[in-house]
Amino acid sequence: MSLWNRKKTRLEKLQTKYCDLMRKSFETALRDREKSKLVKERALEIYEEIEYLSLKGADK
């Protein structure tokens, strides 16, 4: 029951945002490639931050 009320960590929030942006990028690519490219670039920036936080946590 406590899992329902627990707050998401920063890493979990970033992973959710990355997944949403990649989905949006795919859906947008069907209509507008330039806009899709911008969304994908933002998603890749978030992915780099996810990698950094994951590696930082691995040192513990």
- Tens of pLDDT along 4-29? 788 889 999 999 999 999 999 999 99
Tally of domains in the chain? 1
The verdict on residue 50 lying in a domain is: yes
Per-residue pLDDT, 33: 96
The verdict on residue 1 lying in a domain is: no
Q: Between 56 and 31, whose confidence is greater?
A: 31
Give the H or E element holding residue 38.
Answer: helix 33-58
Per-residue pLDDT, 44: 98
Q: Between 8 and 2, whose confidence is greater?
A: 8
The verdict on residue 27 lying in a domain is: yes
The verdict on residue 30 lying in a domain is: yes
The verdict on residue 2 lying in a domain is: no
Asked if residues 22 and 43 have their Cβ atoms less than 8 Å apart, the reply is: yes
Judged by DSSP in three states, 60 sits in coil
In this prediction, residues 32-52 reach a mean pLDDT of: 97
Determine the structural domain holding residue 50 and report its residue range. Answer: 8-58
